[in-house]
Amino acid sequence: MRLRPTAVTVTAALTLGLTALPLATTASAHPGSSCAASAKPSTSMEGPDVEALCAALAGLPDKDATAALIRVGGKGSWHGVAGVRDVRTDAPALENARFRAGSTTKIVTAALVLQLAAEGRISLDGTVQQYLPGLLTEDFAPVTVRQLLNYTSGLQPGASLGNTVEEMYPHRFATLTPAEVVAASVAKGPDPEYAPGERQDYGNIHYTVLGMLIEKVTSDTYAHQAAVRIFRPLGMRHTSFPAGTDPRIHGPHNRGYDWIDGELVDVTDWNMSDRWAAGDMISTTADLERLLFGLFRGRVVPEPQLKEMFAVPDAVDATMGAPFSPYQLNGRTVWAKTGSRPGYHTVVAGTRDLSRTVVYSVNSTDAKGDGLAIAQRFAFPAFNR
C-alpha cells in the first residue's frame, strides 16, 4: 500500500450513526491518552513539533480512527498514544500494542533479499526463471530479482479474496496460499503493454515471489529467516508472523475496526496468509523504530546493497525505490513505507541521516482507503521543524 495523491472521504461516516458498536467522540484526547517526550523538543528547534503531534491525537476515538500510537525519533524523541483499546469497553489504548503492519513487511523482505545478494547467494540481475525454474511460463520474458524489488517485473496481480474490505470481510477466515496467488498471476500472462523493467506497478505479487525466492535459496522458511537475520539481531522481540492461517493477534493489542455498510465492525481477527512476505507481519512501533534505525545505519544490509532500497528506477510511473518512497516535507527528503490491513494503518519513515524519524500505527476505520489524510494528520507534524 502507498500514499496516493488524492484523499478518499468515508461519506457514510459523516452522516450515519453507529449501529453495530458504540463509538465515543470527544473534544479532547481519551483520559488514557498520553503525550510524552524523552528529550525536551518543545524548547528546541531541532526537536519535533510536540504541540502539533498532541493535537493530532486529541479527540480520539473519532469517526476516522479508534486509536493511534506515534513514535518520533532522531534529534529529540517523542511518543504518544490516544484512543481506546476496545470500543465496547472504552479501555484506553495500549502504547506497547502489537498490530498488523501490512506492507511495511516489504521492508523485511527486501532486506532479506539484499542480504542474500551481499552474500553472493543471488544476483540482483539473476532471473526468476533461473532461481525458481518452472514458476513462470514461456510467455514471460526474463524477470530479474531487481525488477521484483522495484515493482517493474511486469507480473500482474494474483488471486485475491476481494478488492475492498466489504468484499473481503465475508472471506476473512478463508485461506488463499501464496502459491495460489502466484499461479493466478501467471495464468494472466505478462503485462500486455510493457516489458519487464519498463513500468513500475506497485503490488503484492512482486514480493510474494521474492518470498518464494528466499525460501528456495535458503532452504528455510521465510518467517525463520526474518527472525534469525533481522528480528533477533535488532532486538525486535515483539515482531513475528502469524502461524499459518491463525487469524489472531497474540499478545497485547488494540482492536481494529472498519466501516462496513454503515456500521463500525470489529475486523481484528483475520487470516492474512495470502499476504505473507508482502504484508502479514505483526509488530510494534518500538520494534519498527528499531528496524528503521538498524537498516539506515547499515546494520542490516551493507551499503552497496542498501542503496537499492532508495533507487527509484527509470521506468514509466516510477515513484518509489525498493521499497521506500521519497517525500519532500519541510525541506527534508523523507523515505517512507506505508502498510495497511483492515483496521490498521502503519507508517515507517525517516531521513537518511536519521535526524528525524516517525513510526505510527493508527487504528483507522478506513485503513484500506487512501492513506494521505491519515499521514497528514499523524506523520507530517513530526517534520514540521
Digit-by-digit pLDDT tens for the chain (385 residues) are: 333 332 222 222 322 233 344 333 332 345 556 776 543 444 456 788 999 999 999 999 999 999 999 999 999 899 999 999 999 999 999 999 999 999 999 999 999 999 999 999 999 999 999 999 999 999 999 999 999 999 999 999 999 999 999 999 999 999 999 999 999 999 999 999 999 999 999 999 999 999 999 999 999 999 999 999 999 999 999 999 999 999 999 999 999 999 999 999 999 999 999 999 999 999 999 999 999 999 999 999 999 999 999 999 999 999 999 999 999 999 999 999 999 999 999 999 999 999 999 999 999 999 998 888 999 999 999 999 8
Q: Are 374 and 345 in contact (CB under 8 A)?
A: yes
Do you know the residue count of the chain?
A: 385
Residue 36: per-residue pLDDT? 64
The 10 Å Cβ neighbour count of residue 232 is 12
- Looking at the DSSP bridge assignments, the partners of residue 265 are 258
Residue 144: per-residue pLDDT? 98
Measured CA to CA, the distance from residue 161 to residue 163 in angstroms comes to 7
Indicate the SS3 state at residue 166: helix
Measured CA to CA, the distance from residue 176 to residue 166 in angstroms comes to 17
Residue 32: per-residue pLDDT? 55
**Cα-Cα-Cα-Cα dihedral sign, residues 139, 143, 149, 153:** negative
Residue 45: per-residue pLDDT? 62
Residue 153: per-residue pLDDT? 98
Q: Where are the beta strands (DSSP E) in 38-159?
A: 65-74, 78-86, 91-92, 99-100
Residues 6+ apart with CB under 8 A from 205: 153, 155, 156, 157, 158, 181, 182, 185, 278
Here the cell at position 5 is: 495523491
Residue 47: per-residue pLDDT? 80
Here the cell at position 365 is: 476505520
Measured CA to CA, the distance from residue 294 to residue 224 in angstroms comes to 19
Residues 6+ apart with CB under 8 A from 287: 231, 234, 236, 237, 238, 239
11-383 topology per CATH:
Beta-lactamase (3.40.710)
* Longest CA–CA separation in the chain, Å: 63
Measured CA to CA, the distance from residue 118 to residue 111 in angstroms comes to 10
**Residue 156: exposure state from Cβ atoms within 10 A (0-12, 13-18, ≥19):** middle
Residue 34: per-residue pLDDT? 77
Measured CA to CA, the distance from residue 98 to residue 47 in angstroms comes to 27
Residue 312: per-residue pLDDT? 98
- Looking at the DSSP bridge assignments, the partners of residue 264 are 259
340, containing H or E segment: strand 332-341
Closest CA to 358 of 284, 279, 282, 292: 292
